[in-house]
Amino acid sequence: MSDRALITGIGVVAPNGLGVKEYWNATLEGRGGIAPLTRFDASRYPSRLAGQILGFDPAEHLPNRLLPQTDVSTRLALVAAEQALADGGVDPAELVDFDLGVITSNASGGFAFTHREFANLWSKGPEYVSVYESFAWFYAVNTGQVSIRHKLRGPGAALVAEQAGGLDALGHARRSLRLGTPLVVTGGVDSALDPWGWASHLSSGLISDSDDPDRAYLPFDARARGHVPGEGGAFLVMEDEQGALRRGAGQVYGELAGYAATFDPHPDSGRPPALRRAAELAIADAGLEPSDIGVVFADAAGSADLDRTEAEAIAAVFGPRGVPVAAPKALTGRLLAGGGPLDVVAALFALRDGLLPAVPYEGETPDAYGIDLVRGTPRPTSARAALVLARGRWGFNSAVVVKAADRG
């Protein structure tokens, strides 16, 4: 009996495209979404570029009653989940509600919303705090709101592991399929681009201070100087093969074939970092060898130390320049919990179209990195499987292997 975890629906909310087609076309064409912050006057902050989803009018996508009770991140999550279900042709009313799970990752909660309520509390008083604050803020909000909107009553979870959490959600969704839930809506969306959220990003010490959108976030480049935070992410419909057959799923984008998570030892321990092990475990979990992997979608931190660590891990698994490395994040910025799921979408489309997306910038990858970064224009590929990596601050490493849909 097969226990394959198929991806049958996709929803994308990305700085360079609202909708999966828009995102993928922009990514192949090298069109990015990094631009000067427009949410507030950022002139007093040392960094001023972000990957924003511009032109998103929530009222066009969501019922009015949801607007006062949701942060921008939850609005985006609701749109992505709705797209994924529609794309997958899933009508929850035709299925058993307990068979439909929701497993998301979140890193910053409804941060802009809660910022406003903190301001109400401290500038006016507790009686001015919104009746929605108790649930618009917390990290489980997207799981709850997606469940309610679509009447999904299966298992639910919200995982937090900074940038790595989005892949953990997909891994846990697959686990839930194996434990008997036929279909799970899964992924991650984040946004924290209000002034306090922005300041919090800055405190990480990893944010690029460049004002040039084409030069600010250059993962694996000799000129790398930090990353650009962004907002958005992706939701997927993941289901087991029998369930997909039973309901007559229209399309299969591919399969989540492998997953693993590891944690780096404490920096003082002298033990080696654990990203390589996550990659190897995920490949083995997929029943593959490194030579079966046709592309790696990198975490692509955009800081020299972190880039080198990742490059070393990739080179250790695949050999020096042994596999093409894609970093479409360079077009969107880093999306916290949304980054991993969005890279999984890019990986599935790269396998489907036989085209690896390129980073848009010309430049030099340090030889010492020993990686083959896809630059300039998309590169044709016959890859049938991709490795997606994601790392979270302080040592979280997650890896996913996706396989292309069967041909024919």
Partner 1 sequence: MTRRVVVTGLGVRAPGGSGARQFWDLLSSGRTATRSITSFDASACRSQVAGEIDFDPVAEGLSPREIRRMDRAAQFAVVCSREAVADSGLSFEGVRPERIGVSVGSAVAAAMSLEKEYRVLSDQGREWEVDPTYLTPHMFDHMVPSVLGAEVAWTVGAEGPVTVVSDGCTSGLDSVGYACRLIQEGSVDVMLAGATDTPLTPIVAACFDAIKATTPRNDDAEHASRPFDLSRNGFVLAEGAAMFVLEEYESAVRRGARIYAEVTGYATRLNAHHMTGLKTDGREMAEAIRVALDESRIDPTAIDYVNAHGSGTKQNDRHETAAFKRSLGDHAYAVPVSSIKSMVGHSLGAIGSIEIAASLLALTHQVVPPTANLHTADPECDLDYVPLTAREARLRSVLTVGSGFGGFQSAMVLRRPEEAAA
Q: How far is the CB of 68 from partner 1 (least distance, A)?
A: 12
Calpha distance 119→201 (Å, rounded): 19
Cα-based distances in Å from 93 to 68, 90, 98, 209, 229: 27, 9, 11, 49, 38
329 vs 375 by CB, closer to partner 1 = 329
Contact 369, 307 (CB under 8 A): yes
220 vs 396 by CB, closer to partner 1 = 396
Cα-based distances in Å from 72 to 193, 230, 277: 10, 13, 36
Q: How far is the CB of 18 from partner 1 (least distance, A)?
A: 24
42 vs 304 by CB, closer to partner 1 = 42
Q: How far is the CB of 271 from partner 1 (least distance, A)?
A: 7
87 vs 162 by CB, closer to partner 1 = 162
Q: How far is the CB of 168 from partner 1 (least distance, A)?
A: 6
Q: How far is the CB of 305 from partner 1 (least distance, A)?
A: 16
56 vs 263 by CB, closer to partner 1 = 263
Q: Where are the alpha helices (DSSP H) in 234-326?
A: 241-247, 275-285, 304-318
Q: Considering only CA atoms, which of 340, 378, 19 is closest in space to residue 161?
A: 340
Q: How far is the CB of 121 from partner 1 (least distance, A)?
A: 6
Contact 130, 117 (CB under 8 A): yes
264 vs 299 by CB, closer to partner 1 = 264
Q: How far is the CB of 81 from partner 1 (least distance, A)?
A: 13
Calpha distance 237→257 (Å, rounded): 15
45 vs 56 by CB, closer to partner 1 = 45
Q: How far is the CB of 138 from partner 1 (least distance, A)?
A: 6
State the pairing for strand pair 34-36/17-18: unpaired
Q: How far is the CB of 202 from partner 1 (least distance, A)?
A: 6
Burial grade of 59 (CB within 10 A; 0-12, 13-18, 19 or more): exposed
Per the listing, tokens 């009746």 go with 131
Q: How far is the CB of 207 from partner 1 (least distance, A)?
A: 10
Cα-based distances in Å from 388 to 133, 227, 298, 307: 35, 18, 6, 15
155 vs 219 by CB, closer to partner 1 = 155
113 vs 297 by CB, closer to partner 1 = 113
Tell me which long-range contacts 131-137 makes (C-beta under 8 A, separation of at least 24): 132/68, 132/69, 132/70, 135/69, 136/69, 136/70, 136/71, 136/74, 136/110, 137/71, 137/109, 137/110, 137/111, 137/113
Calpha distance 158→77 (Å, rounded): 13
Report the 10 Å Cβ neighbour count for 376: 12
Q: How far is the CB of 103 from partner 1 (least distance, A)?
A: 10
State the pairing for strand pair 49-51/379-380: unpaired
Q: Considering only CA atoms, which of 295, 298, 235, 330 is closest in space to residue 31?
A: 330
Q: Considering only CA atoms, which of 161, 206, 212, 193 is closest in space to residue 72?
A: 193
Phi/psi for 325 (5° steps) reads -115, 125
28 vs 157 by CB, closer to partner 1 = 157
201 vs 247 by CB, closer to partner 1 = 201
